[in-house]
Amino acid sequence: MAVFSTDKAANEKYSIDTKGSVITWKGGNVAGSNTHTGYISISKGALTAENGQLVGGTAEVDMNTMSDESHDSDSGLISHLKNPDFFDVERFPSAKIVLTKVVPANNGNSNVTGNLTIKGITHPVTFPAKIEVKVGILTMNGKLVIDRTLWDINYKSGKLLYIIADEAISDSIEFYIKIVAKK
């Protein structure tokens, strides 16, 4: 006789709460003496859980919502980040991640793997995240660090030989991801 748990359903769908979810970004120069942070909004998405564990999902980011640490979306910094030197938001108004695998790790964290598309270019990424599924709410808090040059964001990259070291911008961009999703 098969026994089925009634407290957690298989293949549960959760819609991302776009008001309660946010991505914080951080970038700066190679020396680390000049860093910038800001925010970007998730425009839509859904996550899937099985037996109370995250197994996949998709999140789309509206690149037009990019703002700086003061939540200013009209600053010179944001205008530059939106132009073709960086994210070319006019041509590529959204970015997307499709989660493909979630593996439990240490300290209650998981390693989340997915395919990240920025500027129409897709690469696999893996990042640590704390994931909780409780009473119709799924939360995920993680930190994703990417090498921006993989997505053709090469402006003042230290990999370019003509850039003077003190003018180089770090190739790493950090994304702190906070997702709240509801059944």
Query: Which pLDDT tens digit goes with each residue over 32-73?
Result: 778 999 999 999 999 999 988 999 999 999 999 999 998 878
pTM of the model: 0.89
- What are 173-183's pLDDT values in tens digits? 999 999 999 99
Is the pLDDT assigned to residue 9 strictly greater than 60? no
Is residue 97 within 8 A of residue 59, CB to CB? The reply is yes
Distance between alpha carbon 39 and the CA centroid of its chain, in Å?
A: 11
Cα 98 to Cα 117: distance, rounded to the nearest angstrom? 9
Spell out the domain ranges in the chain: 12-182
Topology of domain 12-182, CATH: Lipocalin (2.40.128)
Is the pLDDT assigned to residue 158 strictly greater than 90? no
The DSSP letter of residue 71 is -
For 108, how many CA atoms within 13 A lie in the half-sphere containing its CB? Answer: 6
Cα 1-6-109 angle, rounded to 5 deg: 110
Per-residue pLDDT averaged across 77-90, rounded? 95
